[in-house]
Chains A and B, each alone.
Chain A
Amino acid sequence: GAVVSQHPSWVICKSGTSVKIECRSLDFQATTMFWYRQFPKQSLMLMATSNEGSKATYEQGVEKDKFLINHASLTLSTLTVTSAHPEDSSFYICSASGGAPETQYFGPGTRLLVL
């Protein structure tokens, strides 16, 4: 199957700092990438959808100025959590689709802890 990587796998930062998370499709070109957030024992919550070279589409309630998404190439998307606060602590997961929307492949996730 297709491989999606995320970096870093975990990060601890101080409140007020910004954190960048990378999502890469390693063996296919991802026309669309998705960013999710997952709280313990809960399902995935879609934050935004990004298409290569276009602005991301954010879900209702997700602050686009706080969660900056860049999809500059067909293999890389980044999520930047700006001015992070403890309530932003969560598990962030990206997924990538190479065309057929039903075949989304997920990254391993990034655990963010804001102190």
Chain B
Amino acid sequence: DAKTTQPPSMDCAEGRAANLPCNHSTISGNEYVYWYRQIHSQGPQYIIHGLKNNETNEMASLIITEDRKSSTLILPHATLRDTAVYYCIVTGTYKYIFGTGTRLKVLA
């Protein structure tokens, strides 16, 4: 599975969009990009995933570059409850490899 690189931490003002980047330059053609988040003392929560097209659901949007070497998770209107560690995972199989993720802190 491809390796991912994420910034260790980010801050975002409440009500503003949070844009979380992920680099995955070694991604192969059959690998998907998944995003999960983990709020303190809870298990990871699925957010969104995509292959090559941009995706949107009720939680977030996922923007994947045309060369698929990077992606951005967008939380359009961050709230205090979005404070969590966000993991970007690239995989073509059932096996997830989590990195250390990005610790997003939403500030009031």
A and B form one complex: no
